[in-house]
């Protein structure tokens, strides 16, 4: 436990959410003060050498660190609020640029591919009419079609046949909806792995299994989770993927395939309920411990900066 109480802001639209409540509990148990702010109610004041944030008409002061819990639908403004805290020299466990990058599915896949992380074969086009070639590029049907803006398993469709795949892709294109077409990993059998990364280690992992007849394993889609011990390769891939996305807190979703672990997505605001209940681990406290490390590093950096200015 730290000697001095720190004021830690949680950016969350709903303090009643499981993840928010657990973070508040863990912060207080570590001897600090938790402050929950709805990022959409934060007013950003941009001024040279004096950036500020106001909440309900009051200026936010004496904050030591920020834990963003930003939903995908409000990424733009949420990231702007995180960026403002960064301009105020207040560290965030998820940096604003990393948050924005993680929400761009296409960019994320390109970054992961460059980092030599295994992934299912994926195709993205600008409403190409060469639908048959797109299907062949990922190994044919069955295949997965995903909306670029989809989250929590929504906007994800399994096309069982080539004809069905053509119809689905053409339908999305006709609505000017941007999609990616992805290889279907049959041997995964409707299951995936969520590895929870904090700092430079995996602090918990669960295997999520889709309900009967459902290929999506997301807990929001009725899937179930259970504790799993990762292989050395799976652990390495999870850490590599999080590092590639520059995320200190991340949920790395992987499929177990015949050619090794394949990364589906790296989530910058992974929920705590599923992973804590499946593993029995106190993930919230692991996050707060990391926040304490971040605060200490930031304080040393600021002290060095002040010393440099005084010496100059």
What's the pLDDT tens digit per position in 96-115? 999 999 999 889 999 999 99
The two tokens of residue 192 are 């995936």
CA 221 to chain centre: 18
Instruction: State the distance between the two ends of the chain, measured CA to CA, in whole angstroms.
Output: 36
For residue 223, CA distances in Å to 121, 196, 263 come to 24, 18, 19
Give, for 52, the enclosing helix (H) or strand (E): strand 52-55
Provide the residue ranges of all domains of the chain, joining segments of one domain with +: 7-94+283-311, 102-117+187-268, 122-184
| Range with the poorest average pLDDT among 70-79, 148-157, 278-287 | 148-157
Region label for 99, one of left (φ > 0), alpha (ψ between -120 and 50) or beta (otherwise): alpha
Mean pLDDT for the chain? Answer: 90
Flag whether pLDDT at 304 surpasses 90.
no
Buried b / exposed e along 21-37 (16+ C-beta atoms within 10 A): bbbbebbeebebebbbb
Flag whether pLDDT at 65 surpasses 70.
yes
Rounded to the nearest 10°, the torsion over CA 232, 275, 293, 40 is 130
pLDDT, one tens digit per residue, over 114-135 is 998 999 999 998 888 899 999 9
Average pLDDT over residues 1-11: 81
CATH number of 7-94+283-311: 3.40.50.20
- Looking at domain 102-117+187-268, its CATH architecture is 2-Layer Sandwich (3.30)
Q: Helix (H, G, I), strand (E, B), or coil: what is residue 289? A: helix
pLDDT, one tens digit per residue, over 137-165 is 999 999 999 888 766 557 889 999 999 99
Flag whether pLDDT at 217 surpasses 70.
no
For 92-188, where are the E strands, in sequence order? 122-124, 143-147, 156-159, 179-183
Flag whether pLDDT at 2 surpasses 50.
no
Average pLDDT over residues 21-42: 98
What's the topology of domain 122-184?
Answer: Dna Ligase; domain 1 (3.30.1490)
Average pLDDT over residues 59-86: 96
Flag whether pLDDT at 308 surpasses 90.
no
Average pLDDT over residues 188-208: 94
């Amino acid at each position: 436990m730290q000697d001095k109480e720190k004021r830690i802001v949680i950016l969350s639209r709903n303090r009643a959410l499981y993840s928010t409540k657990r973070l508040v509990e863990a912060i207080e148990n570590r001897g600090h003060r938790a402050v929950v702010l709805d990022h959409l109610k934060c007013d950003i004041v941009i001024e040279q050498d004096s950036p500020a944030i106001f909440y309900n008409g009051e200026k936010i002061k004496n904050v030591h660190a920020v834990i963003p819990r930003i939903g995908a639908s409000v990424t733009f403004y949420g990231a702007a609020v995180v960026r403002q805290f960064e301009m105020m020299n207040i560290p965030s466990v998820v940096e604003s640029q990393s948050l924005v990058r993680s929400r761009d599915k296409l960019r994320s896949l390109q970054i992961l591919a460059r980092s030599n992380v295994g992934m299912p074969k994926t195709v993205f086009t600008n409403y190409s009419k060469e639908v048959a070639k797109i299907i062949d590029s990922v190994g044919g049907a069955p295949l997965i079609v995903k909306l670029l803006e989809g989250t929590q398993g929504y906007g994800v469709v399994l096309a069982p046949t080539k004809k069905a795949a053509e119809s689905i892709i053409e339908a999305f294109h006709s609505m000017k909806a941007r999609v990616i077409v992805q290889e279907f990993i049959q041997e995964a059998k409707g299951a995936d792995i969520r590895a929870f990364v904090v700092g430079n280690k995996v602090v918990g992992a669960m295997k999520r299994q889709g309900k009967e007849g459902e290929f999506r394993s997301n807990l929001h889609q009725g899937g179930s989770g259970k504790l799993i011990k990762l292989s050395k390769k799976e652990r390495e891939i999870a850490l590599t993927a999080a590092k590639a996305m520059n995320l200190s807190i991340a949920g790395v979703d992987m499929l177990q395939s015949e050619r090794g672990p394949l990364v589906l997505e790296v989530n910058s605001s992974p929920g705590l309920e599923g992973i804590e209940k499946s593993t029995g681990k106190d993930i919230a406290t692991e996050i707060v411990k990391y926040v304490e490390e971040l605060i200490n590093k930031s304080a040393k950096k600021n002290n060095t900066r002040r010393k440099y200015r005084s010496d100059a």
